[in-house]
């Protein structure tokens, strides 16, 4: 979007929201996969702690633990009217139930995720109900744009033709499509500079502009309902872009996300605070409680006792007084599956300067999801590789597929994450500290993969039984 210095993609509504908000320039997802990320956002716990290890829908069939105490559940107990419009993609239903639900579970996803006119009318219906009930409300609007739409090729790779009024596409009355010339696109470094990739990104930009116009419609509905000046507004994304090195990766294009937070009466500006989607639930609860931001959300699976959430925080404080950035500040990431066949568990710690990634299943090639595989961008890379033609890309497919167990990057000198510094004598102390912090985070969040791949968890206190597979010291 323009607020994050994209000069081509037209996002006037998001840019205006950003001008009125605290804009975080160091925001990250905690897992780069749709359902696990949404579960993390709605609980404040990492994916390995919720049990939402991969995608919820179809044959993948991942669900969070039955005992998961989610944000909508907690808010309902506080007497708050809860609603969701758009992509839900989490389960089980009992753990993530809203009072008002218009999702892919009872609609076609395009109607509640891309048809911004229909979504606007659903938001109007929800806000009228909230006003009639005279209750505070929480409305979670989950656009499906700019997700790919592999199963509906007649609408284009990103459903950019859905609702344009072309024959067979339908018409979205409130949408004025923006079209982009492939040659004018400013490509990020992780996308190859070819005609196929440029056309793919141009199609995505059209759907980002549709999302942007949808955001404008929602904000106008909020104002018409009389709540423009008493509502906390958060805008973010579940994961990185659906391109190579993006979604399903813990590299920067996979975990960097936008985050805007508008709070009435609070001065806008740019925040350098490091934050992740794990901070959303505590922030919302802090807004409604107005008291302790460190609220328990997740019952312990074994004892069924409520425990505080480690490593998540309310963001409301940054709007009042933000402390000086600390080089020790860090966010953590946890990825296990995307599709059920894509078993590639990774854990990571990212400070302001360094990132350490642990590829637990490093012996296998990195998996490619079905949406990406069918995309023009990946097929272009694949065909060029097979035919021995130039890729115009920053890696080779072999480099992308085969990764070492540990990856350490100095993001100040190597923002493209090209030079793995694992084992560097000059960084031995830093790497040791990062590995210890990452292990403590896994222990404190009860990660089932705590001891993998060199050992097996033998008790609930973080003790590991060695497998003697020669991986411990690698």
Whether residue 96 sits in one domain with residue 8 = yes
Q: For residue range 133-144, list pLDDT tens digits in order.
A: 999 999 999 999
Q: For residue range 407-461, list pLDDT tens digits in order.
A: 999 999 999 999 999 999 999 999 999 999 999 999 999 999 999 999 999 987 8
Given a contact cutoff of 8 angstroms between Cβ atoms, the answer to whether 117 and 60 are in contact is no
Looking at every residue in the chain, the average pLDDT score rounds to: 92
Name the 3-class secondary structure at 153: helix
116-133 and 195-224 helices, crossing angle to 10° = 30
Say if 102 falls within a structural domain.
Answer: yes
Q: For residue range 333-349, list pLDDT tens digits in order.
A: 999 999 999 999 999 99
Q: For residue range 370-380, list pLDDT tens digits in order.
A: 999 999 999 99
CA angle 281, 288, 441 (to 5 degrees): 25
Token pair, residue 299, equals: 């019952």
What is the residue whose two structure tokens read 């950035």?
Answer: 325
Percentage, residues of the chain above pLDDT 70: 93
Whether residue 166 sits in one domain with residue 43 = yes
Q: For residue range 83-108, list pLDDT tens digits in order.
A: 999 999 999 999 999 999 999 999 99
Separation between Cα atoms, residue 463 and residue 451, nearest integer Å: 8
Whether residue 140 sits in one domain with residue 226 = yes
Separation between Cα atoms, residue 190 and residue 185, nearest integer Å: 14
Q: Is 412 exposed, middle or buried (0-12, 13-18, 19+ CB in 10 A)?
A: exposed
Position with higher pLDDT, 258 vs 460: 258
Separation between Cα atoms, residue 34 and residue 238, nearest integer Å: 6
Give pLDDT, residue 459: 86
Q: For residue range 26-48, list pLDDT tens digits in order.
A: 999 999 999 999 999 999 999 99
With cut-offs at 50, 70 and 90, classify the pLDDT of residue 322.
Answer: low
Position with higher pLDDT, 247 vs 299: 247
Say if 380 falls within a structural domain.
Answer: yes
Domain containing 180 — which CATH number? 3.40.720.10
Whether residue 246 sits in one domain with residue 139 = yes
Phi, psi of 107 (to 5 degrees): -150, 165
Q: Is the pLDDT assigned to residue 187 strictly greater than 50?
A: yes
Given a contact cutoff of 8 angstroms between Cβ atoms, the answer to whether 451 and 466 are in contact is no
Give pLDDT, residue 462: 83
Q: Is the pLDDT assigned to residue 20 strictly greater than 50?
A: yes
With cut-offs at 50, 70 and 90, classify the pLDDT of residue 472.
Answer: low
Q: Measured between alpha carbons, how far apart are the two ends of the chain, in Å?
A: 41
Whether residue 195 sits in one domain with residue 266 = yes
Whether residue 368 sits in one domain with residue 284 = no
With cut-offs at 50, 70 and 90, classify the pLDDT of residue 327.
Answer: confident
Give pLDDT, residue 102: 98
With cut-offs at 50, 70 and 90, classify the pLDDT of residue 317.
Answer: confident
Give pLDDT, residue 303: 36
Range of the domain at 197: 2-291
Whether residue 261 sits in one domain with residue 167 = yes
How long a stretch of residues is the chain?
474
Domain containing 350 — which CATH number? 3.30.1120.10
Whether residue 338 sits in one domain with residue 260 = no
With cut-offs at 50, 70 and 90, classify the pLDDT of residue 320.
Answer: low
Task: Give the CA distances from residue 95 to residues 74, 297, 312, in Å, rounded to whole numbers and listed in that order.
Answer: 10, 12, 20
With cut-offs at 50, 70 and 90, classify the pLDDT of residue 294.
Answer: very low
Q: Other CB atoms closer than 10 Å to residue 185's CB: what's the count?
A: 21
E strands of 119-250, at which residues? 137-142, 233-236
Q: Is the pLDDT assigned to residue 302 strictly greater than 50?
A: no
Whether residue 250 sits in one domain with residue 200 = yes
Give pLDDT, residue 449: 96
- Please choose, from the candidates 9, 70, 16, the residue with its C-alpha nearest in 3D space to the C-alpha of residue 262: 16
Active-site position among 34, 149, 159, 451: 34
Say if 324 falls within a structural domain.
Answer: no
Say if 100 falls within a structural domain.
Answer: yes
Domain boundary among 291, 308, 338: 291
- Would you call 34 a catalytic residue per the annotation? yes
Q: Is 321 exposed, middle or buried (0-12, 13-18, 19+ CB in 10 A)?
A: exposed
E strands of 88-136, at which residues? 100-103
Say if 394 falls within a structural domain.
Answer: yes
Q: For residue range 45-62, list pLDDT tens digits in order.
A: 999 999 999 999 999 999
**In angstroms, how far is CA 94 from the centroid of its own chain?**
23
Number of domains in the chain: 2
**In angstroms, how far is CA 162 from the centroid of its own chain?**
24
With cut-offs at 50, 70 and 90, classify the pLDDT of residue 324.
Answer: low
Say if 307 falls within a structural domain.
Answer: no
Q: What is the mean pLDDT of residues 270-288?
A: 94
Longest dimension (CA), the chain: 66
Q: Is it true that the peptide bond before 92 is cis, omega within 30 degrees of 0? A: yes
Say if 297 falls within a structural domain.
Answer: no
Given a contact cutoff of 8 angstroms between Cβ atoms, the answer to whether 13 and 30 are in contact is no
With cut-offs at 50, 70 and 90, classify the pLDDT of residue 323.
Answer: low
Give pLDDT, residue 312: 84
Give pLDDT, residue 461: 81
Separation between Cα atoms, residue 353 and residue 370, nearest integer Å: 33
Given a contact cutoff of 8 angstroms between Cβ atoms, the answer to whether 69 and 299 are in contact is yes
Beta-bridge mates of residue 82: 138
Q: Write 298-304 long-range contacts (CB < 8 A, 24+).
A: 298/43, 298/44, 298/45, 298/49, 298/50, 298/68, 298/69, 299/67, 299/68, 299/69, 301/65, 301/67, 301/446, 302/460, 304/67
Whether residue 342 sits in one domain with residue 231 = no
Whether residue 221 sits in one domain with residue 118 = yes
Name the 3-class secondary structure at 347: strand
Q: What is the mean pLDDT of residues 266-278?
A: 94
Given a contact cutoff of 8 angstroms between Cβ atoms, the answer to whether 328 and 234 are in contact is no
Give pLDDT, residue 295: 40
Percentage, residues of the chain above pLDDT 90: 87
Separation between Cα atoms, residue 239 and residue 253, nearest integer Å: 9
Name the 3-class secondary structure at 141: strand
Say if 472 falls within a structural domain.
Answer: no
Question: What pairing do the DSSP bridges indicate for beta strands 22-24 and 259-262?
Answer: antiparallel
195-224 and 12-19 helices, crossing angle to 10° = 60
Token pair, residue 270, equals: 């740019």
Whether residue 161 sits in one domain with residue 266 = yes
Q: Is the pLDDT assigned to residue 15 strictly greater than 90?
A: yes
Q: Is the pLDDT assigned to residue 146 strictly greater than 60?
A: yes
367 DSSP assignment:
P
Separation between Cα atoms, residue 43 and residue 35, nearest integer Å: 12
Q: Is the pLDDT assigned to residue 369 strictly greater than 70?
A: yes
């Amino acid at each position: 979007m323009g607020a994050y210095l994209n000069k081509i993609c037209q996002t006037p509504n998001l840019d205006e929201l950003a001008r009125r908000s605290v804009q975080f320039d160091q925001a990250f997802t905690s897992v780069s996969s749709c359902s696990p990320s949404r579960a993390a956002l709605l609980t404040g716990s990492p994916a390995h702690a919720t049990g939402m290890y991969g995608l919820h829908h179809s044959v993948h069939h991942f669900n969070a633990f039955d005992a998961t105490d989610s944000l909508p559940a907690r808010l309902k107990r506080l007497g708050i009217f809860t609603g969701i419009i758009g992509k839900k993609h989490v389960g089980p239903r009992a753990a993530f139930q809203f009072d008002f639900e218009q999702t892919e579970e009872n609609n076609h996803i395009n109607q509640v995720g891309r048809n911004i006119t229909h979504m606007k009318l659903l938001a109007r219906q929800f806000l009228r109900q909230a006003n009639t009930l005279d209750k505070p409300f929480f409305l979670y609007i989950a656009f499906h744009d700019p997700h790919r739409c592999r199963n509906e090729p007649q609408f284009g790779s990103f459903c950019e033709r859905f609702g344009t009024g072309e024959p067979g596409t339908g018409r979205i009355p409130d949408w004025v499509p923006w079209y982009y010339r492939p040659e004018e696109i400013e490509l990020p470094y992780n996308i190859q500079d070819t005609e196929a990739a440029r056309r793919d990104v141009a199609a995505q930009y059209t759907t980002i502009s549709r999302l942007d116009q949808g955001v404008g419609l929602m904000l106008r509905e909020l104002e018409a309902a009389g709540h423009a000046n008493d509502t906390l507004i958060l805008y973010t994304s579940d994961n990185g872009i659906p391109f190579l090195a993006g979604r399903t990766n813990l590299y920067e294009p996979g975990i960097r996300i936008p985050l805007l937070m508008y709070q009435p009466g609070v001065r806008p500006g740019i925040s350098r605070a490091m934050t992740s989607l794990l901070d959303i639930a505590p922030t919302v609860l802090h807004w409604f409680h107005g008291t302790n931001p460190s609220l328990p959300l997740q019952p312990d699976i074994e004892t069924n006792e409520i425990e505080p959430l480690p490593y998540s925080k309310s963001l409301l404080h940054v709007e009042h007084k933000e402390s000086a950035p600390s080089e020790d500040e860090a966010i953590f990431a946890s990825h296990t599956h995307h599709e059920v066949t894509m078993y590639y568990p990774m854990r990571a710690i990212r400070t302001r300067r360094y990132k350490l990634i642990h590829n637990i299943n490093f012996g296998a090639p990195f998996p490619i999801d079905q949406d990406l595989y069918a995309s023009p961008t990946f097929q272009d890379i694949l065909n060029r590789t097979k035919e021995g033609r130039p890729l115009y890309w920053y890696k080779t497919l072999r480099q992308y597929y085969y990764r070492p167990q540990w990856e350490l990057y100095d993001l100040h000198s190597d923002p493209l994450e090209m030079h793995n510094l694992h084992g560097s004598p000059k960084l031995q102390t830093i790497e040791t500290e990062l590995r210890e912090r990452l292990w403590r985070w896994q222990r404190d969040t009860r990660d089932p993969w705590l001891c993998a791949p060199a050992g097996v968890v033998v008790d609930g206190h973080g003790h590991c039984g060695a497998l003697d597979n020669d991986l411990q010291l690698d």
